[in-house]
Each structure stands twice: as structure tokens, then as C-alpha cells.
């Protein structure tokens, strides 16, 4: 299964200024798989899984230097650990916080050894112990993007064809329909690697649904690992609410009329740290960086994956496969969440990406733009329409008010093109956003 992060991992491998790498992301997004794939390019690959080998924690209790750790770990796995030839992988590293701390000593005392660490719920451990500044590099991992899904399902030829077109050229109608049909599959299956592999193997959407629900249940089981007992019910309450409020301003009083916002707010923050939801914060959008003008009290929230989102809604997945055109019309919230996840997936992976939108809440002139992105030092409004029509009044109002923003992007099932100051990008080609220029 192709993952774009592999190219970044390979660059890290070959870098002369390499630091130990911490792979971060929600559970089940493919972190361990990525490292194992990278390991195939090394003469030696040594995996230390702290979940399956809990007794190894003792090795990290007295001395965290490579001189102490390497011979002991090598003896445990019965494999040589040789700088320059071995990829040393600490998996489920959250189980042994001292192993995270040890990464700084690998950087300082044995920089020629390739060391990667990954695990679930890392953010909670990092919050407690911190990470050595300047001595570790982080790489953020998300579910498969639609671009990766296209490659995984054998549609690389379609990607190459879309790449060959200028930003205003559209696919011929039969190929445009083929791309939308493929997108409808993704909107049902989502990007969780296990679900994608199941779809490739069986084309059985109900088996994918079982996987989605299993992952959702797994996330719920994790609540007890990072929420105090009396707070677990609040985390569960917020978690269950997110799919219902996708595309809308998130208001705690709409989640519960009996539990106060001050109780629910920390629950949402815990879910964000776990990586299972993403906040989309309001920004005034007057300039870059966009996040500098965030209003922390005004935000929306999306699930990390559209397949899991629909599992949370108990949606009828088969409709995406039976009547995708009608689904595109009716499921605007799915399309909006999809675009948010795509923006995260295509962002620079060595820093945590934030999502922003713009809203004006004046009673007589309400307006909202789904996302704001930065392009060539300017703020660009992005409007998502799941149907084939829309006036784009909010985008035009934004462009009228923000003179520094010279154009907007309309993402929809429509073919590529341009209408005045609005550039049209099909939903299936959002990955081409990096190619859009003024």
C-alpha cells in the first residue's frame, strides 16, 4: 500500500543531519506499517514493542545512554544493532516514557544510528515528560488520503492524467464520472488502512463497516487511559456528538443541556490530543499566518476519517455506491469533513497542521467560508459544495472585504475551471491544490 510519508521517511534516512524520529498520529492510521516498510531498506531491522514486551521497561530505568541500552536490547531480540546499518524501532513507546527521553541521548551520543519511535496516545505522555527540543524530529501521520487511495486501488493512471492537465482543464466526461465514482467509494470506505485493504481484497462494504465500528470501539476503550473515571462519560458524550455537528459551529450546550461547558471543554481537548477529532477554528483571515487571528471560542470539529464519521452516525454506506450523485447532493457535511481531512493529509508532515474557517455572524448578513488556506503568502478562501450548484455568496463577500485575497477556490463535484476570481477544483483532485497559483 503506497503512503506518501514513505518518501519523507526515506529523506530522513539519507539525511546527514538526521535526528531520532517520533512518528505521531491517532491509533490505527498506519504508523507501525510505515516504519516496517522503511525497515526493508536496511540490512538490519530491530523492532522493540513495549506493549508485547512490558518487562523491557526495566532496561530504561537506570541508564538511558546508548552504551547501556544497545547491548541489552540486542541481547533481548537476538539481533545486532549496528549504527549505519540498523533501523531501531521503538513501537508503542508510550508504554515506556523513559524510552522517549532516551532519544535525546541517541542523538547526542550515537547520531549515526537510525532510531524511530511510534505509539498511540503519545501526546499525553509528551505533555507530562516533554520532548528534548532540537534533538528529536516529529512526523505526523493521518489516514490514507484520496490520492493514496487512488494508487492503492490501481488508479495511478488516472492520477497521471489529472496531473497532466492545467489547473483549468477538466477530464473528459467519462473519466470525470469515473473519478467521482472512485471518490464515492472512498467516502464510504474512508482512509483507515485496515478498511482500505479490506475494500481492495473483498469489495465488501459491510466488512469495511465492521472494521470502522471496531476502530470506533477501540477509541472508546482508550478513553479510560487518558480521562479520569468521572470524566469518561463526558469524553464519550462529546465523541458521539462530533459527527452530528460536522459542518456546524460546535456549541457545548447543544451536546448536553445538563452538563456544563466547563466540563465538556476538557473532554474535547482530550479527544484532540488523542488525534481522533480535529478542530477547525475561526480566523479573521486578514493575513498570514492565518492561525494568528484565531478566535478560540468559535470553532467546528471534524472526525479524523469520513468512514469513521459515518460509522458514528450509523449511516447507510451503500448509498455512496448505489446512488453517488444523490449522496453528493445530500451529504454536504461528509464532503466538508473530507476536504478538512485532505488538507491535513497534504500538509507539511513535520509540523502539526491547524485548520481554519471564516464566519461573520451578523444577524442581517451572516456568511461562512468552510476553510482558509495559505497560498503564496496570501489567504485563500475555500468553499465546499457537495452538489453541482451554489452561489458562493460567502466567498465573494470574503473576497470583497479582504482586499489582499485575490481569488477563492470552489471545491465540488464539478469539473475544473475558472469563473471570474473563483477557481474550481473537483473534489477528487484536491491534492492538486498545491499546483494552484495566482
Domains of the chain: 5-140 (3.40.50.300), 146-435 (no CATH)
Residue 110 and residue 18 in contact, taking contact as beta carbons nearer than 8 Å: no
Residue (of 11, 60, 51) closest to 32 by Cα position: 51
C-alpha cell at 161: 492524467
Strand blocks (E) in 33-111: 44-49, 86-91
Instruction: Please state whether the peptide bond connecting residue 78 to the residue before it is cis, i.e. omega within 30 degrees of 0.
Output: no
Alpha carbons 244 and 252: distance in angstroms, whole number = 13
CA angle 215, 255, 241 (to 5 degrees): 20
DSSP 8-state secondary structure symbol assigned to residue 416:
S
Beta strand 422-426 pairing with 417-419: antiparallel
Alpha carbons 241 and 229: distance in angstroms, whole number = 20
The model scores a pTM over 0.85: yes
pLDDT per residue as tens, the chain (438 positions): 899 999 999 999 999 999 999 999 999 999 999 999 999 999 999 999 999 999 999 999 989 999 999 999 999 999 999 999 999 999 999 999 999 999 999 999 999 999 999 998 899 999 889 887 889 999 999 999 999 999 999 999 999 999 999 878 999 999 999 999 999 999 999 999 999 999 999 999 999 999 999 999 999 999 988 887 668 899 999 999 999 999 899 999 999 989 999 999 999 999 999 999 999 999 999 999 999 999 989 999 999 999 999 988 887 777 888 877 777 776 889 999 999 999 999 999 999 999 999 998 776 678 999 999 999 999 999 999 887 666 899 999 999 999 999 999 999 999 999 999 999 999 999 998 865 333
Alpha carbons 249 and 307: distance in angstroms, whole number = 21
C-alpha cell at 313: 452516525
Amino acid at each position: 500500500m503506497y503512503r506518501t510519508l514513505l518518501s519523507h521517511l526515506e529523506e530522513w534516512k539519507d539525511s546527514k543531519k538526521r535526528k531520532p524520529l517520533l512518528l505521531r498520529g491517532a491509533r490505527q492510521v498506519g504508523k507501525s506499517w510505515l516504519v516496517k516498510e522503511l525497515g526493508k531498506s536496511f540490512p538490519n531491522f530491530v523492532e522493540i514493542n513495549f506493549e508485547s514486551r512490558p518487562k523491557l521497561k526495566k532496561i530504561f530505568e537506570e541508564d538511558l545512554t546508548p552504551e547501556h541500552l544497545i547491548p541489552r536490547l540486542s541481547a533481548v531480540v537476538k539481533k545486532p544493532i549496528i549504527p549505519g546499518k540498523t533501523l531501531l524501532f521503538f513501537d508503542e513507546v508510550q508504554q515506556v516514557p523513559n524510552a522517549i527521553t532516551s532519544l535525546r541521548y541517541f542523538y547526542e551520543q550515537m547520531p549515526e544510528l537510525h532510531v524511530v519511535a511510534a505509539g498511540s496516545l503519545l501526546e499525553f505522555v509528551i505533555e507530562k515528560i516533554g520532548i528534548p527540543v532540537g534533538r528529536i524530529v516529529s512526523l505526523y501521520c493521518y489516514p490514507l488520503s484520496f490520492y493514496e487511495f487512488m494508487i492503492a486501488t490501481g488508479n495511478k493512471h488516472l492520477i497521471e492524467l489529472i496531473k497532466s492537465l492545467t489547473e483549468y482543464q477538466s477530464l473528459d466526461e467519462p473519466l470525470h464520472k469515473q473519478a467521482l465514482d472512485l471518490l464515492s467509494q472512498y467516502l464510504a470506505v474512508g482512509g483507515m488502512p485496515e478498511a482500505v485493504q479490506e475494500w481492495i481484497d473483498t469489495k465488501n462494504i459491510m466488512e469495511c463497516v465492521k472494521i470502522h465500528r471496531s476502530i470506533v470501539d477501540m477509541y472508546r476503550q482508550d478513553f479510560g487511559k487518558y480521562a479520569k473515571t468521572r470524566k469518561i462519560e463526558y469524553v464519550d458524550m462529546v465523541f458521539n456528538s462530533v459527527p452530528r455537528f460536522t459542518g456546524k459551529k460546535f456549541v457545548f450546550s447543544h451536546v448536553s443541556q445538563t452538563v456544563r461547558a466547563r466540563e465538556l471543554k476538557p473532554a474535547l481537548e482530550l479527544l484532540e490530543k488523542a488525534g481522533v477529532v480535529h478542530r477547525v477554528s475561526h480566523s479573521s483571515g486578514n493575513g498570514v499566518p492565518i492561525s494568528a487571528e484565531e478566535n478560540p471560542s468559535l470553532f467546528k470539529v471534524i472526525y479524523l476519517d469520513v468512514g469513521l464519521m459515518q460509522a458514528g452516525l450509523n449511516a447507510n454506506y451503500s448509498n455512496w455506491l448505489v446512488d453517488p450523485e444523490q449522496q453528493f447532493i445530500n451529504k454536504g457535511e461528509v464532503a466538508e469533513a473530507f476536504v478538512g481531512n485532505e488538507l491535513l493529509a497534504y500538509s507539511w508532515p513535520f509540523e502539526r497542521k491547524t485548520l481554519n474557517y471564516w464566519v461573520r455572524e451578523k444577524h442581517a448578513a451572516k456568511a461562512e467560508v468552510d476553510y482558509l488556506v495559505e497560498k503564496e503568502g496570501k489567504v485563500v478562501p475555500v468553499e465546499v459544495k457537495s452538489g453541482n450548484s451554489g452561489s458562493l455568496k460567502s466567498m465573494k463577500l470574503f473576497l470583497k472585504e479582504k482586499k489582499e485575497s485575490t481569488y477563492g477556490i470552489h471545491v465540488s463535484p464539478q469539473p475544473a475551471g475558472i469563473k471570474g476570481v473563483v477557481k474550481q477544483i473537483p473534489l477528487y483532485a484536491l491534492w492538486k491544490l498545491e499546483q494552484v497559483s495566482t
